[in-house]
Chain A
Amino acid sequence: MPREQEPSTNEHDFVLSALQENLRLDSRPFQQFRPISLAFGDEYGVADVRIGKTRVLAKVSCEVTAPYTDRKFDGIFTISTELSPMGSPAFEVGRQDQTELLLSRLLEKAIRRSGALDTESLCIIAGAKCFHLRADLHVLDHDGNLVDASCLALIAALLHFRRPDVEVRGEEVTVFSIREREPVRLTIQHLPFCVTFSYYNTSSTTSAEPGIFLQDATLLEEQCRDGEIVISMNRFGEVCQIAKYGGTPVDGLSLLTCTNAALETAKRFDKLVKEKLAEDEKVKDRGGLMAELSAENERPMEPPPG
């Protein structure tokens, strides 16, 4: 069945009437996120983000290819999203639906087009060889707010990723494996984060009430909303993109309020990612380069034979 089951009229009406009374079903304030957890994999470039019951896994990998002929000095960076039936029975394999399309387009706008990743640093030999960086996003569990979770996972994975070191001698390129040489971090210019606001048009035609904005809506809340606004922003408050979906008009002032709220959230995400990265680095650090380089094996303490 390709379509998500719509919530019943009872649920729909109840969610709206609860919002009118400033209540959410999970008794969160309107601007609060569900608990967020961010974990990194053993490999470089794997990040696992959970926001409440939503779970997204991002994996960054790279290979050496020829660059596009019209962009000789740039490496290639592609983002691919996959909504598998594991996330929700409404997702089908091999069929792009609206959610997936919007998600990949938003990420493209927020991360690729905002120049978060310096693609020029992925170039090895101009016009001949470059790195093709590929980010795969897997939605493992879908309970709303996919965009924020995916964006967070992607940024975290990019920061965590190290590409193999290369050496160029004339036309010859040597790519060193992780064992031979310490891999290199990517050059990330800034960290854009997506923050989604679900909009509920509660105002009647006469009153000038702006309506209700929710952050981190659950799946049910998403299904009941009138519109959504996705704001991508880094911690300096630089807006990378604003997208508004779902027909209903939103007045300018509320949009400004949203941007301010988005800045708070972006700062929080930024802090979270950096904290977790530092933690992960500490765990992975096995006593510096000298310990890594040591060829000595651990030997069992056995008495010599004889």
Chain B
Amino acid sequence: MASTIFLPGEQVPSEVLPRSKKGTLTLGPGLRHIPPATVLATTLGSLHIDHKKAALWLEHENGRYQPAVGDLVIAQIHHSSVDTWHCSLTPHTSLALLNQLAFESASRKNRPNLKSGDLVYARVSRCSKWDDVEIEGFNSATGKAEGMGPLKGGMAFGISPAFARRLMMGTGKDGLAKGGVVVLDEVGEKVKFEVAVGRNGRVWVDSGSVKTTITVGRLLQSADEEKWDVERQRKEVKKALRDV
């Protein structure tokens, strides 16, 4: 899919706007509707269109993470108050709240003992412009952890939010990674490791050995910074795994 780059203030041509049966459009981040029928870009980014949902949005590489409900994030405990932990999602922004009972099978007597500096894999449960962001360590609808919870050991590597998003896109019907990142799949064929991707630009990697963890982390970071394509990723993974 060839994507068009838009500059702030540029108008999205009406030919490319998707048509839905109801005649409504859904605008995502980076776009603004000016009545009656103008759609303007508010930031620099490439245009993405989902014709099925009649949705369009701009994707950009820069900027810090903005919380949205349902995002999986890696939060760092900052301090604790009566029954919540205050966690930072990104440095130097206001803290998110994590209820101490918002974990799988947590009760007043049995709840995870987290200290300042610990990492938690959590889901954003509430966020609004005017209120503190709230996160939870389990799926509150089902009461199951679904992979979330405190992260013990391992290492958290910093990546760009855009890359984190690409990592989490999963594989499409054709068996190809939608985000164009195959590093984890390729490494996973050879060595064993655990990984948790936070949309706030952090990847937590844990394998038995320090060396493997560093290798995986470095591969992800360089794939992000140097913008490796799929071919390059495969080549680099092969090269890196030779030493492990």
Contacts and interface: CB of A to CB of B under 8 A. Distances in A.
Contacts, number: 55
Contact of B214 (A8, A10, A11, A23): A23
A15 B112 CA distance: 25
Interface on chain B toward A: helix, strand, loop, or mixed SS? mixed
A1 interface: yes
A207 interface: no
B210 A8 contact: no
B85 interface: no
Central interface residue in A5, A8, A12, A26, by most chain B CB within 10 Å: A8
B210 A14 contact: yes
A23 B210 contact: yes
Interface in B180-226: 204, 210-211, 213-214, 217-218
B118 A25 contact: no
A10 B210 contact: no
A5 B92 contact: yes
Interface string A116-157: 000000000000000000000000000000000000000000
A89 B92 contact: yes
Interface residues of B, number: 21
B117 interface: yes
Contacts of B152: 10
B237 interface: no
A205 interface: no
Interface in B151-171: 151-156
A8 B211 contact: no
A297 interface: no
B218 A10 contact: no
A14 B155 contact: yes
Nearest to B76: A8
A13 B152 CA distance: 11
Interface of A: 1, 4-14, 17-18, 21, 23, 25-27, 89-90
6 contacts: A1-B92, A4-B91, A7-B117, A8-B118, A23-B214, A25-B155
The 6 closest A-B pairs by CB, nearest first: A5-B91, A14-B155, A9-B117, A89-B92, A1-B92, A8-B76
